[in-house]
Amino acid sequence: MDQIELLPSQLARRNWIILALLLLGSLPFSNLDLSIAILVGGLIAIGGFISLRSSLNRLLGQATGGTRFTYMFGCFIRLAVLAVVLGLLIAIVKIHIIGLIIGLSVVIINLFWMTAQRAL
């Protein structure tokens, strides 16, 4: 298998590793709210990554004309659901904002890690 074809599975696996490292890094602060927020943010980010990967696989695997519209509509729905979930977490649950931002950064950290790894 080509290295490019293995990339999505490597990214998915590394997302979980980064989330675990962030959670371990939050333990010395002895702040349960921070750790929970990192976990929730990481799960949201990883869930979005998995959903996007699945949608792209369906889009690229089918040759019908309606799939592009379905993909774009799905992206819009995903974005709306994300906005509602984040709004509820911030406004109603009063989740630790810094922890949530750190958790949501899991995929971004992964992409930077992969880019730096490929550049060296």
**What integer pLDDT is reported at residue 64 of this predicted model?**
60
**What integer pLDDT is reported at residue 54 of this predicted model?**
84
Residues 6+ apart with CB under 8 A from 93: none
**Each residue's pLDDT expressed in tens, for the chain with a length of 120 residues:** 677 778 888 899 999 999 999 999 999 988 999 999 999 999 999 999 998 888 887 777 766 655 677 888 888 999 999 999 999 999 999 999 999 999 999 999 999 999 998 888
**What integer pLDDT is reported at residue 38 of this predicted model?**
96
**What integer pLDDT is reported at residue 37 of this predicted model?**
96
Q: How far apart are CA 1 and CA 18, in angstroms?
A: 25
SS (H, E, C) 42-106: HHHHHHHHHHHHHHHHHHHHCCCCCHHHHHHHHHHHHHHHHHHHHHHHHHHHCCCHHHHHHHHCH
User: 20: which 2 tokens?
Assistant: 């675990």
Q: How far apart are CA 71 and CA 51, in angstroms?
A: 11
- pTM comes to 0.87
Residues 6+ apart with CB under 8 A from 101: 41
**What integer pLDDT is reported at residue 97 of this predicted model?**
95
